[in-house]
Structure 1
Amino acid sequence: MTSGVVAGVLFAVALSVLPALRAMPPAQYVYTHQLLGRHWDPAMPVIVLGSCIADAVLACFAGGPGRPLFVAGAVLLLAVSVVSHFGNVPINRRVKRVVPDELPADWQDPRPLWGRWHLLRTVLAGLAAVVNVLAAAL
């Protein structure tokens, strides 16, 4: 269930939030990004890593064809965490330090790079959810 939550949240951000952020003027984007990040950052790492641990535990106790699928789910969720930690989170931290109405003249818009990292982790999370459904069914 939790891997489905991860995939669903990331899919919703990719489908709706990301295009909305891209359409905003830079100052409005920075302000909105700062607001959105307040509650995602503490919750999502716990859910993603908790899901990864759950898959690892299930892999230890599952038999038959479910075991390698739970291992694959754990690896995919770990990859989501790695992409988040090394791709999206550093960008989030940079955006949090910017004053929206005082963007420096040399400010580089992070939205294209952030979006690419986000889409990668969305695909990984979607694959993890599919693998976990298959593992549970088997």
Structure 2
Amino acid sequence: MYVLSVLVLIGSGTVAGVLFAVALSTVPALAAMPPDRYVYTHTLLGRNWDPTMPIIVLGTTLLDVVLAVLTPGAVPRSLIIGAAVCLAGVSAVSHLRNVPINRRVHRTDPDAIPPGWQDPRPLWRRWHTLRTALAMAALALNGLAVTLPS
């Protein structure tokens, strides 16, 4: 169970860290760009996220479920279940909200931004902020669960 605890901390820490870094640095940089540069840069940045991040998020969610089943105490088990729910939320927000926006941006020709182009950055940022908060909560819940005294 010790190895499983370490793995959920590594997974949830990676998810929280990546999303926090994107929120802190990438989102403001993209917001400062003119639309053509934004579309071009966003497309370049998005190339390596799939399938890496979905695997980490869903894999850690699964590990949390397994850890919850194996954890004897009600309080740590509840915290781990909460972490799994938060990570499932990260996946849901990513898949249902951010990914469709990403696909729309990737279909946009940066050299031919259409008149009346609807800038997706504010909406994307709001959804990203939500999934970042969920990821941070998952990390906190996992951290508490595995460090509670027995």
TM above 0.5: yes
Between the aligned partners of 2:31 and 2:97, the Cα distance in structure 1 is 18
For 1:72, the equivalent position in structure 2 comes to: 82
Structure 1, unaligned runs of 5 or more: none
Q: Give CA-to-partner distance per residue, 1:62-109, whole Å, 9 cap, x none.
A: 011211111001000000000001110000000110110111112100
Structure 1 stretches of 4+ moved >4 Å: none
Between the aligned partners of 2:54 and 2:133, the Cα distance in structure 1 is 17
Of the structure 1 ranges 62-71 and 27-36, higher mean CA displacement relative to structure 2 is found in 62-71
Cα offset, 1:121, TM superposition: 0.3
Q: Secondary structure in 2 aligned to 1:82?
A: helix
**Is residue 2:73 matched to residue 1:39?**
no
For 2:20, the equivalent position in structure 1 comes to: 11
For 2:63, the equivalent position in structure 1 comes to: 54
Between the aligned partners of 2:102 and 2:70, the Cα distance in structure 1 is 37
Cα offset, 1:41, TM superposition: 2.4
Q: 1:123 aligns with which of 130, 133, 144?
A: 133
**Is residue 2:97 matched to residue 1:87?**
yes
Q: Give CA-to-partner distance per residue, 1:29-65, whole Å, 9 cap, x none.
A: 0000000000012211111001100100000000112
* Letter in structure 2 aligned against 1:4: G
Between the aligned partners of 1:42 and 1:50, the Cα distance in structure 2 is 12
Between the aligned partners of 1:12 and 1:26, the Cα distance in structure 2 is 22
Tell me which protein shows more helix as a share of its residues. 1
Given the two structures, how large is their TM-score scaled by the length of structure 2?
0.90
Cα RMSD for the two superposed structures: 0.6
Given the two structures, how large is their TM-score scaled by the length of structure 1?
0.98
Between the aligned partners of 1:82 and 1:137, the Cα distance in structure 2 is 28
Q: Secondary structure in 1 aligned to 2:111?
A: helix
Structure 2, unaligned runs of 5 or more: 1-9
Between the aligned partners of 2:51 and 2:115, the Cα distance in structure 1 is 31
Identity %: 62
Q: Secondary structure in 2 aligned to 1:104?
A: coil
